[in-house]
Structure 1
């Protein structure tokens, strides 16, 4: 039998295990410290929320009204305070993430911050709102911003028409170079007046007018897109493209003028031409604007200058596409359905006046 006295069952752990007293004391102190830390964190979270909750609720009410389209019901003071409230919320969210506040508060702040960001920095605009802004002055203002380039494009188109006339009048063979011959096309040098007159006034079937309009729209769209895209080559190809396309117009004017059908041809062209040629002129001006910005960037980098000019002319080109659609409809339907020169001149002149007033008079106050 051992001489050591037995340890009572009721004896403490420290009497049975060496150092157990220190372990028990450590665990007890650690648990109390964790509880105290949790209580302090909860107090900080409550105090943090109470100090800022009124501003959060105010911001939430503003965002909710804007999302519901009730911006008119928001007071001027709330609209002015919106950016400051959003910045305060972003700061609160940053603090909440760093100090690991309760999950519910953190989730609330993250959701509200996301909604407020779209209101302050990235407002969503519906199609109706975009149309109202675009047609309500955005398109016309963009066109006026490239006015010097429009003047250059107009001068090039007039010069191309004169060049085409002079080339064909000096040598009729130039007509075939400018306007590739098509089977059965009566518009060739030496054609009789009756043959040329028949090409201007169609009294036959019109079943394929819709297909014809779509084909013409596709061709005009390609020319306009080329004018715009080639602007990135410092605008030089745009000059040649505008001159080449209008040289064909000069050749046609020479051909019909020789048979005394100048006014009839002008009426035939004006129905769609005042819209179509205007659209091509705007596309060429947009390309020239980009090329001019790249050739003369000033203190900016070339790519930065091109990007800025591209953003400015993107609105113009959006409108050019719409103009080409209108021109295609006029060319495929109105021109074929109206078989008199006077109504054609009136319609083409009215379209020209409309575009001039819209681009250079409408929306100036805005």
Structure 2
């Protein structure tokens, strides 16, 4: 029995020794590549990318594949755990060096505002013109519907509750909704509600673009038809300019954001309907990346519009000042999107 015990231990020792020998040979055959990859990744992690030679940069993907292959072999052949742990850590670090993000949040935001966003908007091209034409058409359709039958006003504007802005309202009642609201309470809650509503319209206009853009177009028409109905109502009492001023202080930002969201949805839908030489999914993916970048900016525009709508529009009681603020915002947005073109601006495709 003692002889059998010694024989068993001897066999185990031999197996361990053989495994260690295989691990050593495996390491010696590939360790040079691992060490080179480790050194390259360490420099990248330390922010010393400029010190890397062209040969190291070109070799990085091949070295990464080598270490991944080595890890697979080590796991398959049950080499020692220390080696496997080392290769796992090196492969994880190398993955981030090869495929990970190339810039931090601060750098991305700087690139986004310094031309990335505006370049993405210009990349929508004819989709912006289509969305603008649809919004103008929706406004005209809303005006014509309520002028032919005032009952359409309730269908387009939804449940108005106790709101006095209904057909048949007096001039004084309508004018009171535009002025004299400086003492109104709960403006912050009102701003939050308006932001939620506007964001919902914009996100739906974007998200529904996958259905060849048709739902996006219909949503833009429905949303602006209500604007046409409201213009008709106030025009009948001679308050057209006052209403435009009341809307302009926030509307030039809000409607611009909705325009961009609708154009982004149409952009995706048009790419799927007319992919050109690309496969449908590839064309949709390219358009989706550009549209998504536009939508990041749309959310920021809606936040600003909500603040202007919930606070500025109520606290500023002059039509002239409201028009000046709205016109200034419109000029700034147009200048940023269509005149501001840094040489280094690029769009992620």
Q: Tell me the TM-score normalized by structure 1.
A: 0.78
Report 1:177-326 matches (<5 A): 177-180=155-158, 182-298=160-276, 302-326=280-304
Q: Do residues 328 (structure 1) and 309 (structure 2) align?
A: no
- Asked if the contact 1:279/1:320 (under 8 Å) is kept, the reply is yes
* CA displacement 1:68-117 (0-9 Å, x = unmatched): 4x245633534454334434444555666677766544433332122111
Report 1:1-366 matches (<5 A): 41=22, 44-45=25-26, 47-48=28-29, 52-53=31-32, 55-68=33-46, 70-71=47-48, 74-77=51-54, 78-90=56-68, 92-93=70-71, 104-123=82-101, 126-180=104-158, 182-298=160-276, 302-365=280-343, 366=345
- Asked if the contact 1:62/1:74 (under 8 Å) is kept, the reply is no
* CA displacement 1:279-325 (0-9 Å, x = unmatched): 11112112212222232234555455444433332222232222211
Residues 93 and 205 of structure 1, relative CA distance in 2, 3 Å threshold: same
Deviation at 1:136, TM superposition (A): 3.6
Q: Secondary structure at the match of 1:123?
A: coil
Q: Secondary structure at the match of 2:137?
A: helix
- What residue is the counterpart of 2:4 in the other structure? none
Deviation at 1:147, TM superposition (A): 1.9
- Asked if the contact 1:224/1:279 (under 8 Å) is kept, the reply is yes
Bigger radius of gyration among the two: 1
Q: What is the alpha-carbon distance in structure 1 between the residues aligned to residue 168 and residue 16 of structure 2?
A: 105
Q: Tell me the TM-score normalized by structure 2.
A: 0.81
Residues 91 and 230 of structure 1, relative CA distance in 2, 3 Å threshold: closer
> What is the Cα-based RMSD across aligned positions, in Å?
3.3
Residues 332 and 71 of structure 1, relative CA distance in 2, 3 Å threshold: farther
For structure 2, the 5+ residue unaligned runs are 1-10
